[in-house]
Amino acid sequence: MSTHLLFSTTTDNQKNNYISSCYDSALALIRKTVMDGIAPLRDSKIDISLISIHGETLWLSNEGRGEFEITRLLLADMSDSAQLKLFVSPIELNGTFYFLAPVYLHDGELFLIIVVSAADANSNLLFALTQALAREASGKMKCQYYQQRLSCEDKDNQRFANLDIQSVEKELIIEAAQACKGKIQKMHQVLNMGRTTLWRKLKQYEINIKEYK
């Protein structure tokens, strides 16, 4: 079956919604998942690619063959329902069958597409394998995201655990100075602190109020 392929390119915000510093490690995780999954089929004449929602080739298993022809057909202005149809059956182009499956972020946003191609092989096995790889990759992405969040929370908790009351109070006064542009009248109201006490704290913590005016 030949299918003319269009694909939605609403906003390029995967890196914004995903921790940008971990974008490369996310791609590496998906590549490993894919390569491990197809290990039993390495003798078969199949190629695999990871492509962005805009058709950009992020990784290709056989770089010597160049980019997939299908990437040139990933265009804009596609409805959500039409988008979903890309993943329910193989797409045939010039004698090559392409099997597409979506990889999602933890919040359900489409991250990238796994594409498996095989010449003259409209295979139910390859279709099922591609879908399984995408589900596994999506699951690992979700686990990775929450592990990173827990790690960040642990670091924050450790950072606050090392603060004493004086350090916290100093930081609050500095934040108030910044917000109130160094105006004592506003600062003591925001901090719910007497002006005399505030002046004493400024001296105690060596905070130069003029630096914030």
Range 165-212 classified under CATH 1.10.10 = yes
Q: How confident is the model at residue 160 (pLDDT cuts 50, 70, 90)?
A: low
Domain with CATH 1.10.10 in the chain: 165-212
- Listing DSSP states for the chain in one string gives -B-----------HHHHS-GGGHHHHHHHHHHHHHHHTGGGTTSSEEEEEE-TTS-EEEES-GGG-S-GGGGG--S---HHHHHHTTSS-EEETTEEEEEEEEE-TTS-EEEEEEEEEET---HHHHHHHHHHHHHHHHHHHHHHHHHHHHHHHHHHHHHHT--HHHHHHHHHHHHHHHTTT-HHHHHHHTT--HHHHHHHHHHTT--GGGG-
pLDDT tops 70 at residue 94 = yes
Predicted pLDDT at 69: 67
Chain region(s) in the chain for CATH 3.30.450.40: 14-158
Answer whether CATH 3.30.450.40 is correct for domain 14-158: yes
What pTM, to 2 d.p., does this model score?
0.60
Q: What is the mean pLDDT of residues 127-138?
A: 92
